[in-house]
Amino acid sequence: MTASELIKTLSARLGVSQARARVVVESYVAGITRQLKEGNLVILRNFGTFGIKPVAEKRAYVPAKKSLCLIPAHAKLYFKPSEKLRAAASEAKPHE
Amino acid sequence: MNNRIYDKAIVDELARELAIPLPLARHSADEILAIVREGLIRDGAVTITHLGTFRLKPVTARMGFNPSTRERMAIPAHQRVVFTPAKALRDAAEPPRHPAVPIVVEAENTSTTTAAALAAITPDIAGGPMPLTAAPQRESTTPPVDIHFEIEPQPIPAAALRMTANNWETRAPVIATDKAPREHSKVNFILGSIAALLVGGYIAYLLSSPSSVLNTPTAPPALAEAATASAATATNFFFKEQRYRIVSGDSLWRIADVHYQQAVLWPHIYRANTTIIKNPDFLADGLTITIPGLEGQPDSLSENDRRNIAQGYFIAHLYYKTTGHKDADSALIMAKLYDAGAMDQVSTAQ
């Protein structure tokens, strides 16, 4: 499902124009982004959790240079699906 | 910082920003998540602009274990939800990163660096820094010992002991018809029983047809069953070849334990990846290796498997010998245990 399909479906279900549906999605995403930017954990019930977690420094192989490099410690955005979403996904029939 | 923000707060903010009533905002937010959930199940992927892509990723069945009881358990094939954040979201939400630093292995110029270091710490001594003379190379008084590999005086490695405890050589072959199936031969058992049912059905059909009542033998069903079951066993691979990406904390030993159920088979993986893995004890993150298939079962290996594993142990022995690793001899013993003739082929190939 592409972003435009999402907006079309949403506009049909809410009974609003597609332009309005796009604004709703954009401000919803902006709200999540704003909370993540402050370092907060965003918990969407029955869907999942967005958060920022620290990653320790590690050695990694660079195939292009055939050498090793040191990746410094950093923080990474993650999404953890909720129990319900995970259960639904594991029962879904495989695609392709 | 690090507060828990629930969907209610996001919805409140949405209502304030768009100046719409709260119930409508809640309904809109629920609908967005519902559409994403449905689209994910239906199409396997959903993209939201400036947020990212949710995708279903198939996971192959594997043997895992219960971390609290250490009990082996089969994990069936399933699908996992993975999320790839959009660049806009990462740029906005993730703190800035430092660039990666290449690790350069310095050439062997240790004598000059030690000289420089000594000069740096000894300028206060009267008369200036002491003149540095090259330290004499320590020479071993005994010539390098050529190891003759007689098995008797060597201690038997623990892995070999574990293997003999498993009776890997003396164990009888699997016959699906008369014994309860072992854990990993379930597929064989199912194939065998399907074949047996088919054969049984055919016999019943023959019996029911009046013309062949007299000449239907009684012994052949069992024989036919055994034949089809053994044919199913012969064609069934325990493990098919697959690609695997190294993650932090992986070792060949651990990968072999997970995929072959026997960690001592790790040289099988090593042998197939000698072009990219030189040191079997070090795997770089992100390296993609090939995990070769096993033709037989882990405790009743086929001849090819045993030869490959023996060669893997021998290549590990050659590597360990150049680095003076303590496991060099045990690797050779293991190679001989698996297939004594396999080492000649490797040494002539190199």
ipTM associated with this complex = 0.93
CA dist list (Å): B234 to A47, A55, B229, B344: 46, 47, 9, 29
| pLDDT values of chain B reduced to their tens digit, one per residue, 350 residues | 678 999 999 999 999 999 999 999 999 999 999 999 999 999 999 999 999 999 999 988 888 889 899 888 888 889 999 999 999 999 999 999 888 888 876 554 545 555 555 555 444 444 444 444 555 555 555 555 555 544 444 445 555 555 544 444 444 444 444 444 444 445 555 556 666 666 666 666 655 554 444 444 444 444 444 444 444 444 456 677 888 888 888 888 888 888 887 888 898 899 888 888 888 888 888 888 888 888 877 777 888 888 888 888 888 888 888 888 888 888 888 888 888 776 666 655 55
Query: The pTM is what?
Result: 0.48
Query: How is residue B97 written in tokens?
Result: 């990163």
Question: Residue A93's pLDDT is what?
Answer: 82
Question: Residue B64's pLDDT is what?
Answer: 87
Query: How is residue A82 written in tokens?
Result: 């909720």
Whether residue B290 contacts residue B243, with contact meaning beta carbons closer than 8 Å, is answered with yes
Interface touch A36/B102, C-beta < 8 Å: no
Question: Residue B258's pLDDT is what?
Answer: 83
Which stretches of chain A are assigned E, i.e. beta strand?
41-44, 48-55, 58-62, 67-71, 74-81
The span from the CA of B236 to the CA of B230, in Å, is 10
Q: SS3 for B6?
A: strand
Give the closest of A9, A90, A95 to B35, CB-based. Answer: A9
- Dihedral angle, C-alpha B265, B267, B269, B271, nearest 10 °: -150
Question: Residue B52's pLDDT is what?
Answer: 96
**B275-289 CB burial, b ≥16 within 10 A, e <16:** eebeebeebbbbbeb
Query: How is residue A90 written in tokens?
Result: 């594991």
| pLDDT values of chain A reduced to their tens digit, one per residue, 96 residues | 999 999 999 999 999 999 999 999 999 999 999 999 999 999 999 999 999 999 998 888 888 888 888 899 999 999 999 999 999 998 888 876
Rounded to 5, what percent of chain B is helix, strand, coil? 45, 15, 40
The span from the CA of A48 to the CA of A30, in Å, is 17
Strands A74-81 and A48-55: antiparallel
Contacts of B78 in chain A (CB under 8 A): 89-90
B98–chain A Cβ distance below 8 A for any pair: yes
Question: Residue B325's pLDDT is what?
Answer: 83
Average pLDDT of chain A is: 92
Question: Residue B334's pLDDT is what?
Answer: 85
Interface of A with B in 32-71 (CB under 8 A): 32-48, 52, 58-63, 65, 67-71
B247–chain A Cβ distance below 8 A for any pair: no
A/B interface, count of CB pairs below 8 Å: 199
What is the maximum alpha-carbon separation in chain A? 57
The span from the CA of B278 to the CA of B319, in Å, is 8
- Dihedral angle, C-alpha B271, B277, B283, B285, nearest 10 °: -120
Contacts of A68 in chain B (CB under 8 A): 102-103, 284
The span from the CA of B223 to the CA of B166, in Å, is 30
Q: Which residue has the tokens 């066993």?
A: B233
Interface touch A43/B6, C-beta < 8 Å: yes
Interface touch B90/A77, C-beta < 8 Å: yes
Interface touch B14/A31, C-beta < 8 Å: yes
Interface of B with A in 141-170 (CB under 8 A): none
CA-based nearest residue in chain A for residue B100: A71
The span from the CA of B157 to the CA of B327, in Å, is 9
Nearest alpha-carbon partner for B62 in B239, B189, B275, B196: B239
